[in-house]
Amino acid sequence: MLRVNLSDSHPLVQTVGWEAARNIADEFGGERLEIPKGDGYWRHVRNQRMRRERAQGATRAELAARYHLTERQVTNILREGNSARTQTGFDW
């Protein structure tokens, strides 16, 4: 087991806390870890919310303003429907 020097200012400690950072360092210390940001997941969550809000009567313009998108982007997202699940490969 390779010991990694962690400090209060270490990004891992600031992100997950001391105990989790220590566990990660103990398990993977010395290895390069690439942790995905989760953009695809959060985009999926946003799109599902938009579809729900549209079904409840929100206009495309309201959704565009709320989610900082263009009306065309909103239209495309609403049109995609459930096909995003098959395109991303994620089983939500």
Mean pLDDT calculated for residue range 69-84: 87
Which is more confidently placed, 34 or 71?
Answer: 71
B/e letters for 28-57, b = 16+ CB within 10 Å, e = fewer, are: eeeeeeeeeeeeeeeebeebeebbeebeee
Q: How far apart are CA 52 and CA 6, in angstroms?
A: 43
Model confidence pLDDT, tens digit, residues 5-63: 788 898 889 989 999 988 988 888 878 878 788 889 999 999 999 999 999 999 999 99
Does the CA dihedral 16-24-37-92 come out positive or negative? negative
